[in-house]
């Protein structure tokens, strides 16, 4: 007869199994808290109980979470998978702690991937700490970087500089300074892989000063005026080599362009202006004058001749632009500052001076710089408007200071060449150099140093013949240069930092109702003596100087080189000459400088003088 097992026996087995399982779970399955400390640094983690202390990379079961605390700052590797490592394809891999080791001088945290975080006291400054990230382990070679969640108590951080303060001003929440290549946003620290240690500095910053000042006070790297000037000099050395020789195509009478080509006349003007300071002007001018009519416009004609048609068109375009300015002022259209160079010329020439144009433009410029830009184009326009204010109101204008404080300093960012100005993650080269030039002109020492730094950083991006990327996109773990390149002549002239080149194209008002001059001459002097007007100017001795006077009323005689000089429609064929167009009241000149300073006299109401010939 078979014996029957009572149900109670099975119940006992089940209960026993549950007890054994519970004991095993308690011993091996639950996560128990562990903690470590180093001065003001504390680390709390949850470690799976019963697991040996040294977990080999790849196991990833030793720790479920980890939090590092320094004052109000918290850095985490939570169980949620928010902390991730990103590989070369952009795949996100949850970060996991494999091991924590505490020695007498540092705490070492090893991740499953092989990345190692080491925390030690900063021997150079009391109560500060260095968190080093070592990516050199073999398993970390394929990573782009690591993204770690962070928290603070009402923290502040800079969108372009990897620096944050973990609590409000006036408190001791701690400051965190990351590597220059890192990124900070409101949730994460993104630290790119590097072949050298990536170091994060944890310290208590003094209350005075901004985040930017704290960054440069610790990191250094601000350029001096002398350093920026040397960098720009080398930039133009490389550019000149391309203009003068290496980019020149003799058979075509033009240059090689690999970027969006500026007008060939602009390249010619840039070369001629540079050659004036290098002792090669005369040979350069002779070569270009015989090259191609495509090189001639109203600016290059100042050097090369063939002036009548381009100068006539220029005078007409200035009048047309004046009508455009009036319309922009009536409509409050700030896009007029996209043409700030032309705006400066009409003010320099005195066109519309009786209409209060300068004051009206200054008011519109102030409105433009005070408006919050919603696009990179609007930020660039605000900088151009500030350039107008700088030219006519001075560097202390409140609008300029506002733009620097509220837009340019918050837009400052690190790049692979140093620093730039970014808008939504893109650092535009033209915006950066114009911002640098604007800030360098100010009287505030710190802002001026930032301006020099922006200019020096821009020159560091220059490649062959000083071609530069048009922009830099700031990705999370790397920088990406724009494929578009800028030729150096496509940019505004950046050197010298103070003043301007002595023989630079410029418009000059001769006097109230006396017209204006378009010239490259330096030290222009005009004296209206009633019957005799005297115009004198400087240009290199032996050089041929072309220029035009606009708004000139009829006269009786022109004297050049101290003697009466007759008009000749073919004057450009000779070393000296002039012609007058009474319809447009434009007087065209060509003069070879027998001495550096030359003088021209315009005589009126003199019965003995013969009237000028008409063209």
d(CA 339, CA 327): 14
d(CA 346, CA 550): 12
505 with 299: CB under 8 angstroms? Answer: yes
Q: What is the pLDDT of residue 84?
A: 85
> Exposed e or buried b for every residue in 537-571, given b needs 16+ CB within 10 A?
bbbbeebbbbbbbbbbeebbbbbbeeeebebeeeb
Q: What is the pLDDT of residue 608?
A: 54
Q: What is the pLDDT of residue 599?
A: 95
Q: Which of 59, 54, 49 is nearest to 28 (CA)?
A: 49
Q: What is the pLDDT of residue 22?
A: 52
Q: What is the pLDDT of residue 441?
A: 92
471 with 484: CB under 8 angstroms? Answer: yes
- DSSP tag of 568: -
Residue 251 three-state SS: coil
Outline which parts of the chain fall under CATH 2.60.220.
506-603
85 with 146: CB under 8 angstroms? Answer: yes
365, 435, 438, 442 from 390: Cα distances, Å = 10, 12, 8, 9
Spans of the chain below 50 pLDDT: 1-2, 23-28, 51-61, 613-615
Specify the pTM. Answer: 0.87
Report residue 590 CA to chain centroid gap: 40
- DSSP tag of 198: E
Q: What is the pLDDT of residue 291?
A: 80
Q: Does domain 506-603 have CATH number 2.60.220?
A: yes
- DSSP tag of 244: I
Question: For residue 367, how many C-alpha atoms fall within 13 Å in the half-sphere facing its CB?
Answer: 14
Q: What is the pLDDT of residue 55?
A: 38
| Strands (DSSP E) found in 431-478 | 468-469, 471-474
End-to-end CA gap in the chain? 141
> Exposed e or buried b for every residue in 320-357, given b needs 16+ CB within 10 A?
ebbeebeebbeeeebebbebbebbbbbbbbbbbeeeeb
501 with 493: CB under 8 angstroms? Answer: yes
Q: Which of 41, 81, 109, 98 is nearest to 188 (CA)?
A: 81
Q: Are strands 198-203 and 412-415 parallel, antiparallel or unpaired?
A: unpaired
Tally of residues, the chain? 615
Q: What is the pLDDT of residue 445?
A: 92
Q: What is the pLDDT of residue 13?
A: 58
d(CA 453, CA 470): 18
Query: Which helix (H) or strand (E) element contains residue 71?
Result: none
Instruction: For Cα atoms 519, 523, 529, give the angle at the middle one, nearest 5 degrees.
Output: 90
Question: How much helix, strand and coil, in percent to the nearest 5, is found in the chain?
Answer: 35, 30, 40
What is the torsional sign of CA 78, 83, 85, 89?
A: positive
């Amino acid at each position: 007869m078979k014996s029957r097992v009572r149900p109670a026996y099975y119940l006992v087995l089940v209960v026993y199994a549950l007890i054994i399982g519970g004991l095993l779970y308690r011993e091996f399955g639950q996560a128990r808290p562990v903690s470590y400390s180093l001065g003001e640094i504390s680390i709390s983690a949850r470690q799976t109980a019963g697991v040996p202390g040294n977990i080999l990379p790849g196991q990833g079961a030793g720790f479920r979470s980890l939090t590092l605390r320094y004052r109000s700052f918290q850095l985490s590797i939570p169980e949620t998978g928010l902390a991730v490592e990103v590989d070369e394809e952009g795949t996100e891999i949850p970060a996991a702690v494999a091991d924590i080791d505490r020695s007498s001088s540092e705490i070492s945290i090893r991740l499953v991937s092989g990345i190692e975080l080491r925390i030690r006291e900063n021997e150079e400054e009391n109560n500060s700490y260095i968190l080093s990230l070592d990516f050199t382990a073999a398993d970390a070679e394929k990573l782009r970087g690591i993204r770690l969640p962070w928290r603070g108590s009402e923290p502040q951080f800079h969108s372009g500089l990897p620096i944050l303060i973990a609590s409000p001003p006036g408190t001791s929440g701690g400051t965190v300074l990351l590597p220059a290549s890192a990124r900070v946003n409101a949730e994460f620290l993104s630290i790119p892989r590097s072949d050298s240690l990536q170091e994060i500095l944890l310290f208590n910053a003094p209350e005075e000063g901004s985040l930017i000042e704290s960054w440069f006070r610790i990191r250094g790297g601000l350029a001096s005026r002398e350093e920026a000037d040397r960098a720009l000099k080398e930039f133009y050395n490389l550019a000149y080599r391309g203009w003068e020789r290496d980019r020149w195509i003799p058979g075509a009478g033009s240059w090689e362009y690999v970027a969006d080509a500026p007008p060939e006349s602009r390249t010619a003007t840039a070369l001629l202006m540079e050659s004036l300071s290098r002792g090669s002007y005369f040979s350069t001018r002779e070569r270009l004058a015989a090259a191609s009519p495509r090189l001639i416009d109203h600016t290059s004609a100042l050097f090369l001749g063939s002036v009548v048609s381009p100068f006539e068109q220029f005078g007409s375009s200035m009048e047309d632009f004046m009508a455009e300015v009036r319309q922009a002022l009536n409509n409050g259209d700030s896009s007029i500052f996209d043409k700030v160079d032309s705006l400066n010329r009409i003010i320099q020439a005195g066109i519309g001076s009786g209409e209060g144009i300068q004051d009206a433009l200054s008011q519109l410029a102030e409105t433009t710089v005070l408006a919050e830009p919603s696009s990179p184009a609007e930020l660039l326009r605000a900088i151009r408007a500030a350039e107008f204010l700088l030219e006519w109101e001075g560097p202390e204008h409140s609008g300029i200071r506002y733009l620097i404080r509220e837009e340019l300093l918050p837009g400052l960012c690190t790049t692979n060449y140093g620093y730039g100005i970014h808008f939504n993650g893109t650092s535009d080269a033209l915006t950066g150099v114009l911002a640098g030039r604007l800030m360098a002109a100010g009287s505030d020492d710190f802002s001026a140093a930032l301006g020099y730094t922006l200019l020096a950083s821009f020159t560091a991006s220059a490649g062959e013949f000083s071609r530069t990327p048009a922009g830099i996109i700031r990705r999370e773990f790397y920088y990406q240069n724009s494929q578009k390149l800028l030729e150096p002549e496509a940019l505004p002239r950046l050197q010298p930092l103070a003043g301007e080149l002595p023989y630079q194209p410029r418009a000059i008002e001769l006097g109230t109702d006396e017209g204006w001059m378009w010239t490259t001459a330096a030290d222009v002097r005009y004296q209206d003596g009633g019957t005799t007007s005297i115009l004198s100017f400087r240009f290199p001795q032996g050089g041929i100087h072309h220029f035009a006077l606009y708004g000139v009323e009829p006269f009786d005689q022109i004297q050049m080189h101290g003697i009466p000089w007759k008009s000749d429609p073919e004057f450009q064929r000779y070393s000296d000459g002039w012609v007058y167009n009474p319809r447009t009241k434009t007087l065209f000149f060509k003069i070879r400088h027998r001495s550096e300073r030359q003088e021209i006299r315009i005589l009126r109401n003199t019965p003995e003088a013969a009237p000028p010939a008409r063209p």
